[in-house]
Amino acid sequence: MKMGRKTANVVRLTLSYLLLIAIAICAIYPALWVLLSSLRPGTSLFSSSLIPESFTLIHYKELFTNPSFRYGAWYLNTLKIATLTMIFSTILVTLSMYALSRFRFRGRKMTLTIMLVLGMFPGFMSMIAIFIFLLQLNLLDTHAALIIVYSAGAVLGGFVVKGFYDTIPRSLDEAARIDGASHLQVFVKIMLPLSRPMLTYVALTTFAGSWVDFIFARLVLRSKDNWTLAVGMWDLVNSYQNSNFTLFAAGAVLIAIPITLLFVFLQRFLVQGLMSGASKG
Amino acid sequence: MKRHRSTAAIFSLLVMGLGQLYNRQFIKGLIMLAVEAAALMYFIPNLGRAIWGIVTLGEKTQGLEKIGKISVRVEGDHSIFLLISGLITLFLFILFIIIYIMNIRDAYRNGKQRDEGVLPASFRQTLAYVTDRNFPHLMLTLPALGVLFLTIMPIIFMVMLAFTNYASPDHIPPAKLVDWVGFQTFANLLTLKTWSHTFIGVFTWTIIWAVIATVTTYFGGLLVALLIEQKGIRFKKLWRTLFIIPYAIPQLISLLVMRNLFNGQFGPINQYLGYFGMGKLPWLTDPFWAKVTVILVNMWVGIPVSMVLILGVLTAIPKDLYEAADVDGATGIQKFRIITIPFVLFSTAPILITQFAGNINNFNVIFLLTNGDPVKGDYQFAGSTDLLVTWLYKLTLNNSQFNMASAIGIIIFIIVATFSIYNYRRTRSFKEEDMIQ
């Protein structure tokens, strides 16, 4: 009897490990494949084996030297836009959600409801209007336009942050208020240090969001020099994908690496953010 | 005794800032006067034209006019610019009215203070008061303005478009004018054979897709989470990190890569199928298989998120529940069925609905992977895997059917809103019941 249970246990564990390994292969395979493809000589999509016979960095070099794309400039553009968007939207989101979570004022309920309702419209339904709006403000083809639109859009996704502030006990800031701290001091000295996981989560998601957005960026950025990576990549795919797959692979790897590393290293914060978003529905 | 309050209010009603000046709050008063002057300078030439623009959408068509012997091209009204700039002006006007009302109330309040013998606040005191009592409003002003002009205004604009005939080929400015047509667009969408056929087809697939995509990723995530959390499994953290990778790679990249992986001619998936002696599958080119591919790839993208969430819930299950079950002599399967599953389902039910709503709008997976293809001949501008959102996108950017696109956007909104409101209510009742936590 005892033996039976033991063998059953071994069988269960073996099966589980096999399954886990199979899932792990599925999870990693696409990334591995594109990475190895980017190191393969030649340009074709087809290769007889996963691991190439010889390795080369020529495709990475071509990305930066080929005159028909300006990968270096795009990388800098994207870095600039993503960093500024991250800074602005983190500030905007934390401040406004702190206000919505902590203070009771007239119109608060309505503000929350409006945010909820606005979130239900398909995002790019507003594209055309924003396009004309930017045209009239003479902001088309500028990076400022993208940064403004991304940052303003980030506020609507701030429910996670509000949920987070809801969980911090009010007695903390009330004590500080009694000691004579101003609202801004309470926020900077007490709330900000406490909300580090949340700040990381917001910063990370907004950075990643603007790093990869191509829908809106493609609409706003008209000249090739101003493009972001995502737009350039999109163009690369549409014009070269079949004829020059390895080049595409190299570009893809360079775009994905920063985001993927950030996500994997900051996993803990990501999980916390996802969870607190979830428990608030 | 009521002298000051009514005088100040009446002064402010006449000209913004005058009441403040009367209350001897000079800096505030002067700032308000400047605001009013700027506002008047903007609104006097623009407001009338804005209302005219929105009501008529322009009257003059672009055309040739004979001046003497040569015909000259005369610019007509651009209906869409008129509509949008009219909207912006109206929004600014509403803001101005709100500030105006606040100005009157402020003058009244300070006048009342003076009636009670209190000196009106100096400019510095006012600033201190604003940053203290009105701190939340101050914090929300900038985001609110951003949302107002970059989200609310565009949405209102698009909703209005659904009631016009703004569509290619006959009503595209600047060459032609656009007109209000009431509910004609919706009627066309539902009754004109070509449109209604596409709409019903795309709508049905959207719902099927949302259900399958939600269920597969949810239960896939549950399965993976349970596998990792089993007793006796080692390297839990390593597995979790490995499985989170699909979530960490930007969708833009992973989906474009998938498009190549599933390439029918040269893609490695078909290559491997060949090794096992199976024929090539038309992953992206056959209507049925394209749907299968989309769902498979979506599982790859979506399972990690569900996994992370469910892992979190699993660690939150109180251990004493299991201990109590042990005392009662429950087997592993019984514990799983009676404790684990109900607990997980109960605390993740709201997410399930959110994910369902999200999948209805899942633009990335469809657009980047199949672009809505393979093309379906009897559809209006849509392919076999197109969802309502991707159809909307194509109608807007490729086919200039703006009014139809807006109508579809409104329909998507109604669907998503229904589910979300239902969900919101339920979550509320969950919380009030306090069954968990």
Task: For residues B128-134, give the mean pLDDT.
Answer: 79
Q: Does residue A82 surpass a pLDDT of 90?
A: yes
State the pLDDT confidence band at B434, using cuts at 50, 70 and 90: very low
Q: Which of B85, B150, B268 sits opposite A153 (nearest CB)?
A: B150
**Quick check: B349 contacting A, CB < 8 Å?**
no
- Judged by CB atoms closer than 8 Å, whether chains meet at B250 and A214 is answered as no
- Judged by CB atoms closer than 8 Å, whether chains meet at B309 and A116 is answered as no
Query: How far, in Å, CA of B391 to CA of B12, rounded?
Result: 52
**Quick check: A28 contacting B, CB < 8 Å?**
yes
Cβ A143 vs Cβ A81: under 8 Å:
yes
Beta strand ranges found along B68-121 (DSSP E): 70-74
Residue whose structure tokens are 């795009």: A74
**Quick check: A259 contacting B, CB < 8 Å?**
yes
State the pLDDT confidence band at B251, using cuts at 50, 70 and 90: confident
Q: Which helix (H) or strand (E) holds B318?
A: none
Give the side-chain half-sphere CA count within 13 A for B425.
5
Cβ A89 vs Cβ A72: under 8 Å:
no
Q: Which residue of A has its CA nearest to B249?
A: A260
A contacts of B236 (beta carbons < 8 Å): none
Show the tokens assigned to A266: 């900051």
- Judged by CB atoms closer than 8 Å, whether chains meet at A281 and B351 is answered as yes
A contacts of B420 (beta carbons < 8 Å): 116, 120
Burial of B213 (0-12, 13-18, 19+ CB in 10 A): buried
Question: Residue B73 pairs with which residues in a beta bridge?
Answer: B64
Query: How far, in Å, CA of A234 to CA of A236, rounded?
Result: 5
- Which of B249, B258, B431 to mutate against chain A (most A CBs within 10 Å)? B249
Write down the ipTM of this complex: 0.83
Q: What is the pLDDT of residue A77?
A: 92
Q: Which helix (H) or strand (E) holds B65?
A: strand B63-67
Report CA B238 to chain centroid distance, whole Å: 36
- Judged by CB atoms closer than 8 Å, whether chains meet at B361 and A278 is answered as no
Say how many CB pairs under 8 Å bridge A and B: 244
- Judged by CB atoms closer than 8 Å, whether chains meet at A152 and B224 is answered as no
Q: Does residue B72 surpass a pLDDT of 80?
A: no
Interface list for A 66-85 with B (CB within 8 A): none
A contacts of B304 (beta carbons < 8 Å): 27
Query: How far, in Å, CA of B187 to CA of B48, rounded?
Result: 33
Q: Which of A34, A103, A230 sits opposite B257 (nearest CB)?
A: A34
Note the pTM of the prediction, 2 decimals: 0.83
Return mean pLDDT, chain B: 84
Q: What is the pLDDT of residue A281?
A: 36
The three-state secondary structure class of B67 is strand
Query: How far, in Å, CA of B253 to CA of A152, rounded?
Result: 25
The closest alpha carbon to A134, from B93, B161, B88, B159, belongs to: B88
**Quick check: B389 contacting A, CB < 8 Å?**
yes
- Judged by CB atoms closer than 8 Å, whether chains meet at A278 and B350 is answered as yes
- Judged by CB atoms closer than 8 Å, whether chains meet at B250 and A152 is answered as no
Q: Which residue of B has its CA nearest to A107?
A: B137
Domains in chain A, start-ordered, CATH in brackets? 70-279 (1.10.3720.10)
Query: How far, in Å, CA of B293 to CA of B373, rounded?
Result: 12
Quick: pLDDT tens for A19-44: 999 999 998 999 998 898 888 887 77
Domains in chain B, start-ordered, CATH in brackets? 3-63+71-182 (no CATH), 185-433 (1.10.3720.10)
Q: What is the pLDDT of residue B433?
A: 41
**Quick check: B345 contacting A, CB < 8 Å?**
no
How close B331 comes to chain A (CA, Å)?
12
**Quick check: B254 contacting A, CB < 8 Å?**
yes
State the pLDDT confidence band at B217, using cuts at 50, 70 and 90: very high
**Quick check: B81 contacting A, CB < 8 Å?**
yes
Quick: pLDDT tens for B330-382: 887 888 888 888 888 887 777 788 788 888 888 888 988 888 888 887 888 88
Task: For residues B74-84, give the mean pLDDT.
Answer: 82
A contacts of B248 (beta carbons < 8 Å): 259-260, 263-264
Quick: pLDDT tens for B4-55: 888 888 888 888 888 888 888 888 889 989 999 999 999 888 888 888 888 8
Q: Which of B154, B254, B256 sits opposite A129 (nearest CB)?
A: B154
- Judged by CB atoms closer than 8 Å, whether chains meet at B241 and A122 is answered as no
